[in-house]
Structures are given as C-alpha cells and as structure tokens.
Amino acid sequence: MTPSMPQAAVDLALRAGRVMNYGDGLYGGMFVSCMYSSAFFEKDPRKVVEAGKACLPEESPYRKLISDVLLWSSESPEDWITVWNKIDRKWNRREPCPEGALLPFNIDAKMNGAYVALGLLYGHGDIGETIRISTRCGQDSDCNPSTAAGIVGVMTGYQAIPDHWKFGIQDIADKKFSFTDFSFKTIVDSNMKRTLEIIRRNGGTAGETSVRIKPQTSKPVKLEVWDDYGSPVERISVGDERWHFSDGWRSPVPPDPYKDSGFRTSNEKGSEAKVVFEGSGAILAGTYLPNGGKADVYLDGKLDRTVDVYSDEDNLKFSEAVWHRFSLSNGKHTVLLRVRGEPYGGSKGSEIDLSSLIVFR
C-alpha cells in the first residue's frame, strides 16, 4: 500500500506491529514492508533487499543479519547453501523463545527475514526459484516463500507471473477467506482504496486513471532491543537429576516429545519444584492450560512473583514461558516453584505444568 514511500510503510508497520511485538518482531514487519515499497519501481532483488535493510536501526541484530546475508551472497553469488550454513552457524543459536531455544525449529523473526532475503537474492526475479529457495531454507517455511514471492510479484507485475502460479485465483476470487468478510476481489479493492489514500496523505495525487507519487527516502527507526541478556546455553528438562520435585507431581505421557523430553503436572497446594542453574538468566517453560492455575516462584530464596498458566482458551499451548528473569549476576541461582492450588480467572482448574528450565549466559 506504500509504493516508493518507505516512511509510510514504517509508520504502518510500527502501528500494526505494536499490537503484539517489540524489537525484532517490529523490524520484521518494517523489513518486508520497505521491500514491498521499493519493489514497485525496482527490478534488482539485491537493491530491494538493501531498501528493506535501510529502514532498520543500524545497531539492531536484525539489520546486522541482513547485512551478513548481503555480504556473504556477494562472496558466494552462485551458492546459497554456503550462505545458509554461515547464517546457521552465526545466528541460529540465540533464539530465546521457549518453543525454539536450543531446538531445531527456530521462529526467530530475523532468521526468517534472512531466508526471505536468500530467496530474493538467489531467485534472481524468478518467482518459482524464489519460492523454492525460501522454502528449502526451512524454519517458518509456509510464510517465508509467500513473503518472498509476493515481493517478486510486485517487481514483475501480475501479468508477468507465470500462469501456473496464478491459475486458481479466478476460481476462488469471490469466495470469502475463512474467518473474514473478505474475498480475494474485495480485499484487492480495499487495498487499492487504502493505497490511493496513503498516496494523497503523503503529498501525491490520485485520479481516476493515474497517480503521482512523492517518493520518500528510507530512514532507520530508533533502536529497540529486548534480548540483550545473552544467549540460551542449556535446556534442563524436568527429567534431569538437577530437578527436585516434592509429592503431588505427576508425569503424564508427553503430548509432543519433539519439543521437550517430559512434563511434570500438579494441582496440589504446596507442591514444590526446585532446580539450580548456573547463568545470568532463565526461562521456566511449561504448558498453558484451559484448567491452568497459579503458582509462586522464588528466586534464590525470595518470592519473585506469582504466575499463572491459564491459556484463556480451550487449546493447550506448549513450550510457553511460565516465568523468566534476566540480568542476574552470572553464577549459581535457585528457582523454586510452589503450587498455590488456585484457579486463575476463568480457568476450569488449578493445574501447573512444567517441562524445562532454559538457562542463559
């Protein structure tokens, strides 16, 4: 909606992104939005990626990763797998999210931005090759090829997209997308209406058959970084001998052994789980439950805070952060969780579920 207007793109990304994101989560939206903005009048994929990078703060990890991708791709212009391996070695070990930390699946925003960039840089404007490479990079590989292909589509124009990538559009053009009141046709109309309004608001003109756009210069936004506390170095599963559980804890069959090697569950008031770790921070991971309850968490013998694991919906949410604390002195620390035996809010019970402690240094 912001052709050649990267500052307008950044404004939209900031306002929409803050609903649920900070730091890299915001920068992912900016990076993609600014690439789309550039793609309307730029045919060189490298320049499009550079335009996306230009909107990001210079000191942000996201921009540094994209800079690495641009440098390494210039050094290995015919070998995207070599670049993928370099990305993996340098950047794929710092994912702090409990669902991905020290595990194969990594949903880190900047990693997926790098895979979008790889698809663009090595796809050379071919939408099929762009999709293939972004998909083969792995991780969040439904979104990444879609993102990269959309940018290529803007670069080439709809008519230039091979028919086998768009032959089904007319068949579904009038059908509403699930959970919305929009069809393909009506969302296109909605987007066009907003695009014309954004052009007018930013100094351009929009008539019946033509528009005049006032181009903008990309400017990096102010730096926001929330994950400056180190990297995950160890995942202490509840099956590890360093954990100590009092009576009242059960060991249900793990519903997803890929993500963690076991679970401990309790709803008995006073049941305790204790673990000692060595580092400068930690995340206590577990499952959010429809029948989740409350617990008190103590750090080094002092009450840190009361937490809950109520999911607010009927679904289970695995590998979530039950509790976390960072910026500790680097050394030995003790975490103790005590079950309160109380439901939280609209919860149907008072269960507490734990799977691991993720240690940071």
pLDDT 10s digits, 333-344 = 999 999 999 999
> How many beta carbons lie within 10 A of that of residue 314, not counting itself?
7
> How many beta carbons lie within 10 A of that of residue 259, not counting itself?
18
Q: Which two tokens stand for residue 330?
A: 């680097």
Whose structure tokens read 């060595």? 278
* Helices 109-123, 80-91: inter-axial angle, 10-degree rounding: 170
Give pTM, 2 decimals. 0.85
Whose structure tokens read 């249900």? 252
Q: Where are the CATH 2.60.120.260 domain residues in the chain? A: 232-360
Whose structure tokens read 């391996």? 85
Report the C-alpha gap between 85 and 87 in whole angstroms. Answer: 5
CA atoms within 13 A on the CB side of 253: 1
In the structure, what pLDDT confidence band is assigned to residue 257 with cuts at 50, 70 and 90? very low
Q: Which two tokens stand for residue 52?
A: 């996306």
* Helices 109-123, 24-39: inter-axial angle, 10-degree rounding: 20
Report the C-alpha gap between 8 and 28 in whole angstroms. Answer: 16
Bridge partners, 276 (sequence order): 334
Architecture of domain 232-360: Sandwich (2.60)
Which pLDDT does position 225 carry in this prediction?
84
Compute φ and ψ for 326, nearest 5 degrees. Answer: -125, 180
Residues 6 or more apart whose Cβ sits within 8 Å of residue 301:
334, 336
Task: Give residue-wise pLDDT tens across range 269-327.
Answer: 999 999 999 999 999 999 999 999 999 999 999 999 999 999 988 888 888 999 999 99
Which pLDDT does position 230 carry in this prediction?
80
Report the C-alpha gap between 350 and 215 in whole angstroms. Answer: 57
Measured in whole angstroms, how far is the alpha carbon of residue 283 from the centre of its chain? Answer: 18
In the structure, what pLDDT confidence band is assigned to residue 102 with cuts at 50, 70 and 90? confident
pLDDT of 262 higher than 80 = no
pLDDT of 40 higher than 70 = yes
Q: How far is CA 356 from CA 99, 234, 242, 293, 319, in A?
A: 11, 10, 11, 18, 9
Report the C-alpha gap between 120 and 103 in whole angstroms. Answer: 27
| % of the chain exceeding 70 in pLDDT | 97
> How many beta carbons lie within 10 A of that of residue 270, not counting itself?
12
Task: Give residue-wise pLDDT tens across range 187-234.
Answer: 999 999 999 999 999 999 998 899 999 999 999 999 988 766 788 999
The 3-state secondary structure of the chain reads CCCCCHHHHHHHHHHHHCCCCCCHHHHHHHHHHHHHHHHCCCCCHHHHHHHHHHCCCCCCHHHHHHHHHHHHHHHCCCCHHHHHHHHHHHHCCCCCCCCCCCCCCCCCHHHHHHHHHHHHHHHCCCHHHHHHHHHHCCCCCCHHHHHHHHHHHHHHCHHHCCHHHCCCHHHHCCCECCCCCCEHHHHHHHHHHHHHHHHHHCCCEECCCCEECCCCCCCCCCCCCCCCCCCEEEEEECCCCCEEECCCCECCCCCCCCCCCCCEEECCCCCEEEEEEEECEEEEEEEEECCEEEEEEEECCEEEEEEECECCCCCCEEEEEEEEECCCCCEEEEEEEEEEEEECCCCCCCEEEEEEEEEEC
Task: Give residue-wise pLDDT tens across range 109-151.
Answer: 999 999 999 999 999 999 999 999 999 999 888 899 999 999 9
Q: Is the dihedral of CA 189, 190, 194, 197 positive or negative?
A: positive
> How many beta carbons lie within 10 A of that of residue 75, not counting itself?
10
Question: For the chain, what is the mean pLDDT?
Answer: 93
Q: Is the dihedral of CA 223, 225, 228, 229 positive or negative?
A: positive
pLDDT of 254 higher than 70 = no
Which pLDDT does position 319 carry in this prediction?
87
pLDDT of 256 higher than 60 = no
| % of the chain exceeding 90 in pLDDT | 83
pLDDT of 255 higher than 70 = no
